[in-house]
Chains A and B, each alone.
Chain A
Amino acid sequence: MNRKLYIILCTLYMVPLSLFADITGLVLDENNEPVIGASILIEGTTVGTITDFDGNFTIDAEVGKTLIISYVGYTTQHIAAKANMHIVLVSDTKALDEVVVIGYGASKKSNISGSVEMVKADELPKAASASVGEMLRGRTAGMNIAAKSASPGSGLDIVIRGGLSGQKPLVVIDGIPQVSSGAPASGTGYSGAEKDNGLINISPDDIETINVLKDASAASIYGSDASGGVILITTKRGKQAKPEVSYSGSVAFQTMKDVPEFLDARGFMTEQNRVFDELGRTDEQRYTQAQIDNFVGKGTNWMKQVTRTGMVNEHNISVNGGSEKTKYLVSLGIYDHKGIAKNNDMRRFTGRINLDQDFGKYVRVGLNTSFTSLKYNDVPLGDARQSDAALIYSAMTFNPTVPVHNADGTYADNPDRPNVYPNPVSLLDITDQSYSRDVFLTGYMEIKPIKDLTIRATGGIDMNFAGRDQYIPTTTLKGASYGGQASKQTSNSKLGIVNATATYAHNWNDQHELSVMAGWEWKKRMWDGHGIVANNFPTDGALMNNIGTSESENPNIWSSKGSSQMASFIGRAAYTALNRYIVTFNIRVDGSSNFSPKHQWGVFPGVSLAWRISEEPFLQNATWLSDLKLRGGYGQTGNAGSLTGINTIYGISRGTYVIDGNLVNGINLKKLGNPDLKWETLSDANVALDFGFFKGRLSGTLEFYQRLRTDVILTKYLMSYNEVNTIDYNSKEVYRSRGVELSLHTVNVDTKYFGWSSDICFSYYRNKTIARDPDFVPLPYQEWEEEWGNVYGYKTDGLIQAGESYAHLPNSQPGAIKYLDIDGYVYEADGVTPKRDEQGRYVHSGKPDGKLDQMDMVKLYNTTPIPFSFNNTFRIWDFDLNIYIYGSLNGHKQNDILYQSAYGISDLTYGVNALSAVSDRWTYQHQDGTLPGVAEANSGIDPSSSNYFCKSAWYLRLDNISLGYNFPLKWFKGYVKSARIYAAVRNVAVLTPYKGMDPETGNGIGAYPNQISGAIGLNFKF
């Protein structure tokens, strides 16, 4: 009472002098620890300050004005200004009650009963990543993402819960499914890496949240499109506030990280001579010892010739704000990536306008529009060898003794075998430009005619225009043989959608919460495209841009067009009793033009239950428990993706024959329709426990699931005499996925100056074929019930040593791989016919039989990944530090480059370079060599059918280390709302026992080398 009086007096006393005074105060958390850096803002102004290290603040404010005190993780408070304020911030328990997008609606997180993951885009490190898919690697348990290549804009394998359906996840942006897109194939011998055609079309900076519907109890609302799971992306929207401008940008430099070591010129010459010796062809040796000794330098490092330091430049700017009635967000972004391979670039422009406008109390209208332009300059990539070799393989293996150019300026050839292998640098002359332009236009109208009822209609279109231009000039070997080759291709796709939903939601005294949604949707997919590939041009100068000058008689031309439609009914009912008993029911009925008349409508239901145990009265006093929820669900989705086998169709083939010197077309029966065919069904069961302890210091989710895929569409072989001898049918095969997922969030340290929190994601699953067609005959090494990812082959035991010979390896000389003969057939009485068991499978004798055949093959290993990630965020004074590790705890891979170098060792005689490691091959002079010698190539057995070159390939990638500094806002006198500068290193290191290229992206013999990137970046808002 006294105190109050004092303040009033004080205030009164000061009034005559000024209306303003220095208000001081102290901000504490619930544990009476000072809160550092809490923001204090005078409401309705931009005047503000932050607390110091002791939690104290001083602000020039009129007494009685409302101060807004906020700090991340705590509930924002509005308090009238007074002297000597003492403010206790309370942890934001609402964090538990975030709104989660669930498809055709949203729900409080506490009321979710299905399996839905949520990621906030702002929490992901963005430097040097173009696609949010790339950033999401490892971020959510149950969604495994692997990059297919380390090239700019590379394609991603996104696999939700084991990928049992074989379909990609459905990506839905602000309620509208994304159309599948991507530049068409060139139709020539050269192509770049496969691209990310989905998530890359959206700027990561525009994304607010990403929700993943993992199980069918949640995803069944998307019915026959949802068998691969659903990724729901919500973009940022305007807020009711003064305009806020945000900028984020970074510059990153990249250097090549995993390049295998190939022989230099001297090593190459020496090894080539030795290989001639080993092949008994010493007379063909090309180099004298003197020539080798006198060779100046190391020869041409072809890899160096075709690579450079990569650079990523990324800038995003957005403005958002709005009044009570109108809210807007406008953003622009550019992402420019110069890859580490010369001439390999990617550039993306993105623009977005999101608008919301209220008309009176009952109607709201909104617009989401975005435009994305993607441009690539590609270089030839791939695993082809010899004349088709692409940039990377060719740079690894081209003869190192020749220079890049001949004296006359032409590209040097491999003298050991002319006119076969392309000069790697010449491949950089190839022009390969592709583009993809994506226009996304959607609008909605929301009407609230009565309390609790919302009617919402959405219409939208996603249009993708993509194309590719390529020219292979005559300076390349291939181009020369074609007289120059040009390709122009386009492919367009569109998805138009209209839907309307009505949602009734009512809360009866916090005792009963009910939400019922019913809706209807119509969707049309359209695609068209055309292209031409022509040869023989008078000059290289016009590239592909004057294709009419081609002298080809029969340029390869094509065009196509098609569309399909789907109409659906959707419904959902969610009921929560007493804040703790939750039931959700989803249903979707799809009718599709792709379905056969016999099965025109598919019904896909989902139901889930949840019990928030922590809300039970008997646990109200358990302060150690902040959240405990047990959930369970069951649902079905469909897989109509491969439902193309319904119709009997004829197809036109171009140039089936030559009549009178000219190509003529033909029409033949292409496919035998099966009118009984229906979609595959995926049935999911899910049990999960969400938990939080010690006021959220430890929280997480543990989930168990089973998914069954039935009515699997397979191709049946009919008797081979039939005109068309295959037909698609719903088989009796059943595939099953079982798995467990654990995500943990811990707040390890949380003090004034130092905070440390961690996230751990772990998934384990195995896919298995558990039923087969009755007439299926397993291979000798195959189980009736078979795990996916099994790799079968011969076992090996080192190399055959001098003097050894084996009856089962009649063509293997010393130095060849010792494949093991471990089993054989049992024969019928006639002694010739191998005996089969009742399943039709060959019976194993269990004894070596002197023959190496499929009876000797065994399961070598299983390649199913075990995704794992470990994220650490530190706060030290005004600095923030993030360390992120992801990887797979299981993996096996053949070291393809080592395999190619060792098995193809005799290619050295053609001037094809090999890994330096091949000098450790077995020869009579080097009998303890660990790699097979020249004898292996004559063994008649391909080592890739054995475990010889396979190694364990689990890995942990230190994907991100970033250190940021948040500038104290007082420096900017209130003009800046936040400012952060950071430095990041991406792909710092990979821990793995695998010795080949990158265990994630280093696939095949021509993989794009992965990079380490160093970035600096700046984010600020004003």
Chain B
Amino acid sequence: MYIVTLSLASCDLYREDYTEIYPEDYPKTENDLKLMVNALMYEFGTGYWNGEGIYGANYGGYQVMSDMTTDVLWSCWGWEADVLYYQQWKDNSTSSISGYFYNAFAHYQFMSKARNVTRRILASEAPEEAKIHYAAEACALRGWMGLYLYDNFGPVPVATDAQLDDPLTFNYIGRLTEAQYDSVMSADLNYAIANLPQTAPRGRMTKGIAMTILLKYRMIQGKFVEAEQLCRDIMDLGVYGLQANYADVFNINNADNNEIILCVPCNSSASWTSNYMIAEILPADMPWADKSAGWGGYVMPWDFYNTFKPTDKRLECIHTDYVSINGRYTDKTNSNQLKYGPLPLKYSIDPNMTGAQAGNDLVIYRYSDILLSLAECIARNSGVNSEAEGYLNQVRRRAGLGDIMGYTTDDFLTAILAERGHEFYLEGLRRQDLIRFGKYADYANARIAAANASGASYYTVTNVHNRYPIPQTFIDESKSAIQQNPGY
């Protein structure tokens, strides 16, 4: 017994688990840094249904939710689609779509994650060059999420490094002021712009992406002088251009086209990295890929469709009728879906689409937005001129439309808004466009008035809706340090 006891005293007890990695072993190499940044990208994914990724194709996804609160997108499924389409979120607790607000706001945690990853990268023993590169990527991603949060809610709380280092202490932190938030966004994105490469494989961050994110932020802020400069800087990169055909931008065989600045790359082999935007729209009986299956929900409302010129080439991507797989001619007279509107099937057929899973990259920001933003900024900053007209007409010509010349600045801006609607449907830009032009609530009230005329009882809305309500859970958690957006 004595011997046994002695041997125990000198015997260490080990625990092994090969699925765990301990902080003393990680991160060390350049590859470690890359993996860390890859993990951050998870929250920009497409295929999660509970809001873990912000670009899902369900109602909570950024593009769908943004567009569905405007005139460009709707769904024949009613209920939550109607709540969005008629902007019927009265307060933050009772609405059936409050879960989407919750999921969206919860991503404010990403600001902490990305900050910690950046610091961890810079403190690692990896080569200096790699550290700077991946820190810049993490900063760009932080800027991207910062934009998403600002777009939806305005400034959100952002923890300081000291607060992040002490997770066990409960700090009740409020929202940043506009100026504080600006300095967070500027710092991240300028670091990213300074240190990222001009080109990179699809999915990785580039200089142009960081610039575009900053541009979108400046546009929401109404800082059009800075925005104009950013547009010019992006053009000066010389990386981007317009595709000859509108539909080519969304063609799966042309995924590397240089019109796309930022995309969320998709891969249909995994359920969580697939593009579901097609399935959400595609009717179950509409011929598509061999093994595809449609859910038949989303539509472009007829009212919006009718604002297109019939000669607009962009209508090629919008189906008003089809012959079903059973040979039945289907249009708005005999389809419960087409009754609500035509099908904005912008993304091309992916021949390998299996079930609802397609591999088309989700287009987030592209060069024609830069052109139209530059035209808009010039008009806002110094009045319309031929340079501004030129940028707008580049986009119009591709759509097979005639040039716009000699408009007043106001008319020019109105034309820009209309053009943006026709150019970017299903891409989630419409909401901020309408807000920037002061039309978000007005357009909703027009839809509400029309619906109420035929028996609905929706309440009218105001500019309060330009920002979503902050979920009460987070306000309560912060002991009311987080202030609700005014009007809610």
Contacts and interface: CB of A to CB of B under 8 A. Distances in A.
29 contacts: A481-B293, A520-B5, A554-B267, A560-B19, A562-B16, A562-B18, A564-B16, A567-B8, A591-B13, A592-B13, A650-B23, A652-B21, A656-B38, A656-B41, A656-B42, A657-B42, A658-B203, A659-B202, A660-B265, A661-B359, A663-B269, A666-B36, A667-B39, A718-B168, A719-B170, A719-B171, A720-B477, A721-B109, A721-B173
B129 interface: no
Nearest to B264: A658
Given A500-B4, A554-B270, A652-B21, A660 B202 contact: yes
B13 A566 contact: yes
B201 A567 contact: no
Interface in B158-209: 158-159, 163-164, 167-168, 170-173, 201-204
Contacts of A541: none
A483 B290 CA distance: 12
Contacts of B267: 553-554, 658, 661-663
A240 interface: no
Nearest to B267: A658
Interface residues of B, number: 68
A801 interface: no
B439 to A, nearest CB: 33
A724 B167 contact: yes
Contact of A721 (B17, B112, B202): B112
Contact of B23 (A502, A648, A653, A658): A648
Contact of A661 (B21, B112, B204, B265): B265
Interface in B279-297: 284, 291, 293
B304 interface: no
A733 to B, nearest CB: 19
Contacts of A566: 13
A652 B35 contact: yes
Residue in B36, B158, B173 whose Cβ sees the most chain A Cβ within 10 Å: B36
A874 interface: no
Nearest to A559: B18
A657 B13 contact: no
A482 B357 CA distance: 11
A563 B20 CA distance: 12
B14 A658 contact: no
Interface string B80-119: 0000000000000000000000000010110111001000
Interface in A631-669: 647-653, 655-669
Interface string B34-62: 01111111101100000000000000000
B35 A567 contact: no
A789 B284 CA distance: 45
Given A560-B19, A563-B16, A657-B273, A666 B42 contact: yes
Contacts of A502: 1
Contact of B21 (A649, A657, A723): A649
A518 B1 contact: yes
A554 B13 CA distance: 38
A120 interface: no
Interface in A565-579: 565-567, 569
Nearest to A940: B96
A593 B15 contact: yes
Contacts of A309: none
Interface of B: 1, 4-5, 8, 11, 13-23, 26-27, 32, 35-42, 44-45, 106, 108-109, 111-113, 116, 157-159, 163-164, 167-168, 170-173, 201-204, 255, 264-267, 269-270, 272-273, 284, 291, 293, 354-355, 359, 474, 477
A509 interface: no
Contacts of A657: 38, 41-42, 44-45, 203, 265, 273
B101 to A, nearest CB: 14
Contact of A667 (B11, B21, B106, B171): B21
Residue in B39, B116, B355 whose Cβ sees the most chain A Cβ within 10 Å: B39
Contacts of A672: 167
B13 A593 contact: yes
Contact of B36 (A655, A667, A718): A667
Contacts of B32: 667
A286 interface: no
A492 interface: no
A617 B173 CA distance: 76
B19 A721 contact: no
A652 B26 CA distance: 12
A725 interface: yes
B202 A565 contact: no
A662 to B, nearest CB: 7
Nearest to B20: A649
A369 interface: no
A522 B8 contact: yes
A492 to B, nearest CB: 14
A445 interface: no
Nearest to A655: B270
A718 B165 CA distance: 13
B199 to A, nearest CB: 12
B201 A660 contact: yes
A593 B204 CA distance: 41
Contacts of B19: 560, 562, 651-652
Contacts of B173: 719, 721
A522 B7 CA distance: 11
A98 to B, nearest CB: 30
Interface in A458-499: 481-483
A552 interface: yes
B481 to A, nearest CB: 11
Contacts of A518: 1
A667 B291 contact: no
Lowest 8 A-B CB distances belong to which pairs?
A: A666-B39, A666-B38, A657-B41, A593-B15, A562-B17, A668-B39, A553-B269, A660-B201
Contacts of B1: 500, 502, 518, 520
A714 interface: no
A650 B26 contact: yes
Interface string A923-943: 000000000000000000000
A652 B39 CA distance: 8
A661 B255 contact: yes
A829 B273 CA distance: 51
A647 B16 CA distance: 12
A653 B42 contact: yes
Contacts of B42: 653, 656-657, 666, 668
Nearest to B170: A719
A2 interface: no
A667 B134 CA distance: 14
B14 A593 contact: yes
Contact of A483 (B27, B158, B291, B293): B291
Contacts of B38: 656-657, 659, 664-667
Contacts of A660: 201-203, 265
Residue in A500, A522, A561, A661 whose Cβ sees the most chain B Cβ within 10 Å: A661
Contacts of B41: 656-657, 666
Contacts of A553: 267, 269
Interface string A544-556: 0000000011100
Contact of A653 (B39, B204, B255, B477): B39
Contacts of B112: 721-723
Contacts of B202: 659-661
Contacts of B264: 658
A648 B22 contact: yes
Interface in A658-685: 658-670, 672
B20 A647 contact: yes
A594 interface: yes
Given A520-B4, A560-B18, A655-B272, 8 more contacts: A520-B1, A648-B22, A657-B38, A658-B203, A667-B21, A667-B36, A718-B167, A721-B163
A669 B35 CA distance: 12
Contacts of A665: 35, 38
Contacts of A650: 20-23, 26
